[in-house]
Chains A and B, each alone.
Chain A
């Protein structure tokens, strides 16, 4: 019984997909993906940034390392941007 229901649901989904466009348009999907990547980068930079500021406050020689380490999570946003360009 359960198996039949699942099969019927899958058939309906396939039919629906065939009839109309995707549930989420590519541009919207790319935008969501980019937004999530940006949130991820922000979250990662939050603690790295605060630690970097702490280290720089103690020793200005740490400035280079601090900035470098803080921007590393920025690559996640760049990956998001790449996806946006691929889908355009």
Chain B
């Protein structure tokens, strides 16, 4: 008997994330937030479920920084909760997925060290929701150079890829090779650990991840196609998706029209239809990227409705919560920068 399947408590975790998903901000809340100034947003958040974090951080920070740190801390709290609730196979899969915050943290540290941001500034921006221990994260923030960061990560999943990319970084003095290496290490680890013949819940999990990789590849391909820069697309290619082969991507990035036509024929055509129309009409990459985000959220939601006792609702919740945090951050930062309400609304992805 497979004991890991037995201890996976899908019913319990799914019920909890569904309640939390329902409590996320809706369109009305966003409409109110867009009309508020940073101070009012902070006050509004004190009356929502961000209350604990806002009160805890209120004495040390203020304004938009307070909102941002409270958002990060709240995100970490919720995702830690998920790991506390889950058991068995479900726990393993959630933990593996949450390593994306390790990837985020490593990127934050590298960027922080690169721009000589202070130790405290880097530490404030970390999201402590991944598998890295607090000790390791503290060591990383204390690192004085990127070489030291790479050294300290040698025993993690990012180690080999970062060491390889470090030479490129030294040569070009840009962060792109390192950031790519982090993304690729994360995704190859996600799919690399999956057993040869996965059980049905794990197979669904793989399907969700493949979709995420595909969408990321689409985004990278479009950015490359639009920029017209002479960059080798294979450097950005993340393997594991089902939509592109590496060689296909290299060819498609040369022509935006060809790429959109390819996407219209793909298995995501119904999810991407609106996004592709937007792209052709609006001719704006930013809008297309928002539409892609929306399409990925909708795709995850569709799988959630079809397989309600699986990891799908959990991943859908994680993505929706991340989206909410991104939206609130965009509103707060947009207000601070003096953008108009309309401009901020364009930044939001509301599903």
Interface positions of A (Cβ within 8 A of B):
47-48, 50-55, 57-59, 62
Interchain CB contact under 8 A, A54 and B20: no
Q: Would you give the shortest CB distance from B76 to chain A, in whole angstroms?
A: 18
* Stretch in B8-16, B67-75, B99-107, B157-165 with 4+ CB within 8 Å of A: B8-16
Interchain CB contact under 8 A, B16 and A50: no
Give A51 to B85 CA distance when docked, in angstroms: 12
- Can you show 8 pairs from A to B with CB atoms below 8 A apart? A47-B309, A50-B9, A50-B11, A51-B12, A54-B14, A54-B15, A58-B16, A59-B19
In this assembly, does B18 line the interface, its C-beta being within 8 Å of a C-beta of chain A?
yes
Total residue contacts A-B, CB cutoff 8 A = 34
Interface positions of B (Cβ within 8 A of A):
9-16, 18-20, 85, 309
Interchain CB contact under 8 A, A55 and B19: yes
Q: Would you give the shortest CB distance from A69 to chain B, in whole angstroms?
A: 11
Give A42 to B10 CA distance when docked, in angstroms: 17
Nearest A residue to B14 via CB reads A51
Give A68 to B29 CA distance when docked, in angstroms: 32
Nearest A residue to B13 via CB reads A54
Contacts of A59 in B (CB 8 A): 19
In-complex Cβ contact of A53 among B12, B20, B309 (8 A) = B12
Q: Would you give the shortest CB distance from B151 to chain A, in whole angstroms?
A: 43
Nearest B residue to A66 via CB reads B15
Q: Considering residues A51, A55, A59, A62, which has the most beta carbons from chain B within 10 angstroms of its beta carbon? A: A51
Interchain CB contact under 8 A, A62 and B9: no
Tell me what chain B mostly uses at the interface: helix, strand, loop, or mixed: helix
Contacts of B15 in A (CB 8 A): 50-55, 58
Give A54 to B90 CA distance when docked, in angstroms: 15
Give A48 to B309 CA distance when docked, in angstroms: 11
Nearest B residue to A47 via CB reads B11
Q: A50-B12, A51-B11, A52-B15 are in contact. List 14 more A-B contacts (CB 8 A).
A: A47-B309, A50-B11, A50-B15, A51-B14, A51-B15, A53-B12, A53-B15, A54-B11, A54-B15, A54-B16, A54-B85, A55-B19, A58-B15, A58-B20
Q: Would you give the shortest CB distance from A52 to chain B, in whole angstroms?
A: 7
The 6 tightest CB contacts between A and B, nearest first, are A54-B15, A58-B19, A51-B11, A51-B15, A54-B12, A55-B15
Contacts of B85 in A (CB 8 A): 54
Contacts of A58 in B (CB 8 A): 15-16, 19-20
Contacts of A57 in B (CB 8 A): 16
Give A54 to B9 CA distance when docked, in angstroms: 10
Q: Would you give the shortest CB distance from A15 to chain B, in whole angstroms?
A: 44
Contacts of A47 in B (CB 8 A): 10-11, 309
Q: Considering residues B16, B18, B85, B309, which has the most beta carbons from chain A within 10 angstroms of its beta carbon? A: B16
Nearest A residue to B22 via CB reads A59
A50-B9, A54-B85 known; A62-B19 Cβ under 8 A? yes
Q: Would you give the shortest CB distance from B312 to chain A, in whole angstroms?
A: 15
Give A35 to B241 CA distance when docked, in angstroms: 50
Q: Would you give the shortest CB distance from A65 to chain B, in whole angstroms?
A: 11
Interchain CB contact under 8 A, A48 and B11: yes
Contacts of B309 in A (CB 8 A): 47
